[in-house]
Copies of this chain bind each other. A is one copy, B any other.
Amino acid sequence: MGRRSIHTQEELRELIIAATTSIIDEAGIDGLSAREIAKHIGYSPGTLYNMFENLDDLLLIIEARLLDDLRQQLIEAAQNAPAHERLPRLAATYFEFTQNHPKRWSLLIEHRIPGNHPVPDWYEDKISSLLQPFEDVLDPILDADTSPETRRQHARTIWAGIHGLTSLSTANKLATITNHSGQVLIDDLVMTYLAGLQRSTSHGVSTAPQKEKR
């Protein structure tokens, strides 16, 4: 098919991103090709390669938008909630989001840039930005004299636990091992971890006043 000129470059770019997103949501990335995407929008595969260096670049943009959406939902979920409910809400939101976009989430988990090319810095920044909401919700729960480094560590630990559990669920691997729903296990993980944090701050050497404990 020849190139049509009814779209601006920017419109064309968005068309390509939207078509690819909907193909992935339908069928995953197995067998995804520039040809198939081009066919969807009525352009030639060459048009794609004028806009994107390769398929991996296009996929990274779709992943980045997914991360942006998730981050926004996390921030909203934590807003206006009492301090001790924020982490459970973040976890539930994270889980629900991934279950609502299982194929795109699997893309994010499974997509590897071939040939050991590093992922771009902006992509790493987006992944890292997911952690900020977790640090923020831990802040009022931990003792006032908890070091920023310890808070960072706890945020990464609980994020990794939630993320790992979530990914098992979107990959349909949780059902192999248990009849518990992912949501039940996430709740257990978060509530028990929180109880453990409160126990260690109240039993630890800290003499700072305890904040916002249940």
Residues of chain A at the chain B interface (Cβ within 8 Å): 110, 119, 124, 127-128, 130-131, 152-154, 156-161, 163-168, 174, 176-178, 180, 184-185, 188-189, 191-200
Contact (Cβ within 8 A) B188 A153: yes
Report the bound CA distance from A135 to B160 in whole Å: 22
Q: Nearest CB to that of A198 among chain B residues? A: B199
Q: Please state if A176 and B127 are interface contacts (CB–CB under 8 Å).
A: yes
Q: Which residues of B contact A153 (CB under 8 A)?
A: 180, 184-185, 188
By the criterion CB–CB under 8 Å, are B200 and A192 in contact? Answer: yes
Bound state CA distance, A160 and B124, in angstroms? 25
> Chain B nearest CB: distance from A38 CB in Å?
25
Within 8 Å by CB of A157, from B119, B128, B156, B188, lies: B188
| Distance (whole angstroms) from the CB of A142 to the closest CB of chain B | 12
| Inter-subunit contact B177/A156 (CB<8 Å) | yes
Indicate if the CB atoms of B176 and A189 lie closer than 8 Å.
no
Query: Can you offer 5 A-B residue contacts whose CB atoms are under 8 A?
Result: A127-B176, A160-B177, A164-B166, A191-B196, A195-B197
